Amino acid sequence: MTEKGPSIPRQLLAKPGMQIFLFICTLVYVISPIDIIPDVVPIIGWLDDAAVFMAQIASFIIYLKETRRRQTEKTTQQNEGK
């Protein structure tokens, strides 16, 4: 996050629909025989699949943090209003 607010990528990643889309894309890429580095090349061929998978996990963690932050802010505002 910047001082002015969340960046555009974080705003996009914070949407549930985007998480579902990224998850499906990740599954297709990992399962697909067409890769940046073919899986027939031992170890190195699997590294690109692992990198895409790890990027998806990082994206999901950002999504969870943003969701938790929003829920905490909402709860705090409701408690202050009482």
Residue spans per domain, the chain = 8-69
Query: Could you tell me the end-to-end alpha-carbon distance of the chain, in angstroms, rounded to an integer?
Result: 30
pTM of the shown model = 0.70
Is 5's pLDDT higher than 70? no
For residue range 43-72, list pLDDT tens digits in order.
888 888 899 899 899 888 888 888 898 899
Question: By percentage, how much of the chain surpasses pLDDT 70?
Answer: 88
Residue labelled with tokens 């090349």: 41
CB proximity list for 18: less than 8 A, separation 6 or greater = 12
- 17 confidence band (pLDDT: 50, 70, 90): confident
Of the chain, the percentage scoring pLDDT greater than 90 comes to 22
